[in-house]
A and B are shown apart, each in its own frame.
Chain A
Amino acid sequence: EAGVVQSPRYKIIEKKQPVAFWCNPISGHNTLYWYRQNLGQGPELLIRYENEEAVDDSQLPKDRFSAERLKGVDSTLKIQPAELGDSAVYLCASSLEGGDEQFFGPGTRLTVL
């Protein structure tokens, strides 16, 4: 069974540029999460989707971040414009509906110069 897929794995951009990350969850997993991991810290939740509905986005900086999961399967997280402080690893995770155990993708390491 394939795991959570993310792309790209690495991204380097200049500040003020836009960037997008893509995630495909494990097949059959209705719940999808985006986390951000700063250097030396544990991941922190940005947004959680139940199917195509964003049910927890209180930690998403909405002035510059947006996310979508149009068909309830794969998801895109966007930053526009990027700032130096956005440099981090962006992790996607998924879980079964009603399940607890979360499974993580390999992450996208973003560097903003």
Chain B
Amino acid sequence: GIQVEQSPPDLILQEGANSTLRCNFSDSVNNLQWFHQNPWGQLINLFYIPSGTKQNGRLSATTVATERYSLLYISSSQTTDSGVYFCAVGENSGNTPLVFGKGTRLSVIA
């Protein structure tokens, strides 16, 4: 099955710093989502981005499907950005199960 690798596994930032999280996947995908899992365990949808670039406030994401990677950019980080960021992919379009990476644990300190 498809493999998803996320890097770095852990990241500590000073408040206000910028960061880039990476997601590599082993095969072509038709679905890619980025999630933020907050300290209470809730998975929050950040981006649905099987290709292209999107921005939402301080967050943006880019997926280069032909090269099998996606990047999540966090600018001007805040303590509330702390948590685990997951990349998840689906091989087929339409209601396909997601395969998750192991996540990047982000800690933003004041």
Please report the total number of B residues contacting A with Cβ < 8 Å: 25
Cβ contacts under 8 Å, A42 to chain B: 4, 86, 88, 100-103
How many A-B pairs with Cβ below 8 Å? 58
**Size class of the A contact interface (CB-based, 8 Å):** 20 to 34
Query: Is A106 on the interface with B (CB-CB < 8 A)?
Result: yes
The reply to whether A106 and B95 form a contact with Cβ atoms under 8 Å apart is no
What per-residue 1/0 map shows which CB atoms of A82-113 lie under 8 Å from chain B? 00000001010001011111111011010000
CB of B109 to closest CB in A, whole Å? 21
Query: Is B20 on the interface with A (CB-CB < 8 A)?
Result: no
Chain B interface (Cβ < 8 Å from any Cβ of A): 4, 30-31, 33, 35, 40-43, 45, 48, 50, 86, 88, 90, 93-98, 100-103
Chain A interface (Cβ < 8 Å from any Cβ of B): 31, 33, 40-45, 48, 50, 56, 89, 91, 95, 97-104, 106-107, 109
